[in-house]
Amino acid sequence: MVKYYMMDILIITLVFVFILIFTIFPAIYAILSAFISNNGISFGLLYQTLKASYFYQSLFISFAYSLTVTLISTFVSFFLAKWMKKYKTITFLLAVVWIIPPYIGIPIWRAMLENTKFINLYSNPFHTFFSASLVSSWFLIPFSAFFIYSVVEKINKKYFEAFSLESNNFTIYYLKIVFPNIKNEFYSILLLNFINAFKDFQTPWLLTEGGAPTKFGLTAKGIIGSTTNLEVLIYKFFNSEININELGAISTLTIFFISFLIFVWYKLKNKQIKTTKKTISLIRLNLLSYFEVILIILWIFSIIVILYSILHLSFSDSTNIFLKGNFTLNNFRYIISDNFLTAIKNSLFIAVFTGFFTTFLSSIFAFKLSNYKNGEKFISFLNSLKIITGIHLLVFIFFLMAKVHLLNTLTSIILLSVSRELPLGTLLFFSFYKEFPRDLFYLSKLDGVSSNIFFWKILIPNSIPIMISIFLLGFLASFNAFISPLILLFDEAKYPISIKLFNYVGTISNHYPEWNYFSAGSILNLLILLVIIFILRKFVNFSYLKDL
């Protein structure tokens, strides 16, 4: 008994330390770098950073950008969730957007926006900021809509039946009955979207490369653009090989502000907020309904345009969306001859091993934690650590990888990806184990079956649906990884698809992007993802429990 108890403790400790290595350790490294200067402890760098104009400009941009993205994404999601049950097309389109990786979708948005007459991404700060906010919202909408829809579906159907006797205006029902019953979940998705936007790097960088210069953007550390948030600022400093101590100071302050936001949120959430009921006039409801319809139509139109642009460019010899070209298959021939298959192999290698190790470790980790009273709280704590991750920690993971000689290896990407997906996989397995029939466990005990044998012989064979789901989550997350390979890899032979595609178009400062090659590669990438998702979905509904 003592032997098994010690084994459980050892496994839990090892997995816990593994997760900490890629979350808490880089944060500690950043904080120590901020306070240690010239072999001594000093507050000078933090004080210097707090006095710098570039820091306050980037901090203000981070807040303004996060607020704008949060409002757009959450409220559009709220309206979409309202119609998901009635119109299955909306659910399908949400899934389509969810499948499109940001490293494909954002450059295509850039290709369209930088060639329009009404938007100037190069020199107009407002155009740059608002365009980045819209595109970032576009990618946050699917998860937010699915989350809100899942919460709405749990509301007692009797509410709707009773309301239907009084009125047939679905908008009133949604605002007066649905919203008050999902307020807590709605505020939670607001916070989640705000934090994600606060840490957003891909959209400000891939779309605008930090944005057009602002009026006060000229600083001692370079030009601050209208989308140069804290994450973009840290990446620019990292690329300019700035002192690690200065990077530590900015990263430490970024961690502080993210933690402060969460602290303030929970303080406000725990207080009783009084709301005043206001009568919504029929005119306001009609205006809201029209506004809602217009938003949904624009959202659907944007998806159609994005898909058309990718297809059009992939079979065209024109490198510009708005310049007519001739039909050709040479784009596909070119990328295949340009080591694109090697990039696919690298991405699949990373994704398969990430999916396997995430599934394997999380299944064991969750089972061991299920024997402890506070196991669920411990798992929730591990998942909460993901909130503080971002470029501000990834640059210090770069330094850690360099010290252990794992830099510029696919192993580094796999280890980082597994550490990111392991907490969520453990949570899903833990929930599954809690719902597993306890009678089977008690019967196995009567037959003298040990816990380990029960786990491998009974629990695992009946966990195939959840195992496939977690494998798929780990696979997709690592297959679509962009930021970690961008930071940790610099050998072209080891580039995954995301970086290979990025090299065809670069950032907005690249005035000769090869959009046709980029689109052809994107089509192949999306086809691979669709085939894998289709194959794995067939296993999700499989379970031996049906035969018991």
Where are the chain's structural domains?
A: 43-314, 329-548
Closest CA to 150 of 72, 91, 98, 96: 91
Q: Which of 2-11, 210-219, 512-521 has the highest mean pLDDT?
A: 512-521
d(Cα 467, Cα 539) in Å, to the nearest integer? Answer: 10
Q: What is the pLDDT of residues 402-412, one digit of tens each?
A: 999 999 999 99
Which tokens sit at 505?
Answer: 């178009």
Q: What is the pLDDT of residue 278?
A: 47
Percent of the chain with pLDDT over 70: 87
CB neighbour class for 183 (10 Å; exposed up to 12, middle 13-18, buried from 19): exposed
Distance CA 189, CA 275 (A): 20
Mean pLDDT within 490-506: 94
Give the amino acid at 254: T
Residues in the chain: 548
- Does 43-314 match 329-548 in CATH topology? yes
pLDDT at 281: 54
Helix ranges (DSSP H) in 240-340: 244-270, 282-314, 330-335
Helices and strands in the chain, H and E counts = 26, 4
Mean pLDDT of the chain: 85
Q: How confident is the model at residue 166, as a pLDDT?
A: 62
φ, ψ of residue 65 in degrees (nearest 5): -65, -45
Report the distance separating Cα 392 and Cα 413, nearest Å.
Answer: 17
Give tens-digit pLDDT for 256-300: 999 888 888 777 766 544 444 444 454 555 566 677 788 889 999
- Compute the distance between CA of residue 113 and CA of residue 119 in angstroms, rounded to an integer: 6
Cα separation, 218 vs 54, in Å, equals: 8
CA-CA distance, 318 to 315, in Å (whole number)?
9
pLDDT at 154: 77
pLDDT digits (tens, 9 = 90+) for 25-78: 999 999 999 888 766 787 778 888 888 888 999 999 999 999 999 999 998 998
Within 13 Å of residue 19, how many CA atoms lie on the same side as its CB? 24
**Which residues does 397 contact at the CB level (< 8 Å), separation at least 6?**
22, 26, 416, 487, 488
122-163 pLDDT, tens digit per residue, is 889 999 999 999 999 999 999 999 998 888 887 766 666 666
Over residues 77-97, mean pLDDT? 88
Query: Residue 223, by phi and psi: left (phi above 0), alpha (psi -120 to 50) or beta?
Result: beta
CB atoms within 10 A of CB 91: 18
What pLDDT is attached to residue 547? 40
pLDDT at position 440: 72
3-state secondary structure of 316: strand
Instruction: Kindly state the tokens that stand for 547.
Output: 């035969």
- Name the more confident of 460 and 176: 460
Residue 62's pLDDT is: 95
How is domain 43-314 classified at the CATH fold level? Answer: MetI-like fold (1.10.3720)
Over residues 97-117, the mean pLDDT reads: 90
- In 3-state terms, what secondary structure has residue 218? strand
pLDDT score of 119: 87
Fold of 329-548: MetI-like fold (1.10.3720)
Q: Which long-range contacts (CB under 8 A, 24 or more apart) does 488-495 make?
A: 488/397, 488/398, 488/401, 488/407, 488/408, 488/412, 488/413, 488/416, 489/408, 489/412, 489/413, 490/408, 491/408, 492/339, 493/339, 493/342, 494/346, 494/408, 494/409, 494/410, 495/343, 495/346
Kindly provide the residue ranges of all beta strands, DSSP E only, lying in 167-251, ordered along the sequence.
213-219, 222-225
Given phi > 0 = left and psi -120 to 50 = alpha, else beta, which region is 339? left
pLDDT for the residue numbered 447: 64
- What is the reported pLDDT for 544? 39
Q: What is the mean pLDDT of residues 488-512?
A: 91
How far apart CA 430 and CA 425 sit, in angstroms, is 8
Tokens at 223, concatenated: 């030009």
Q: Are 230 and 250 in contact (CB under 8 A)?
A: yes
Instruction: Report the range of poorest mean pLDDT among 243-252, 313-322, 341-350, 415-424.
Output: 313-322
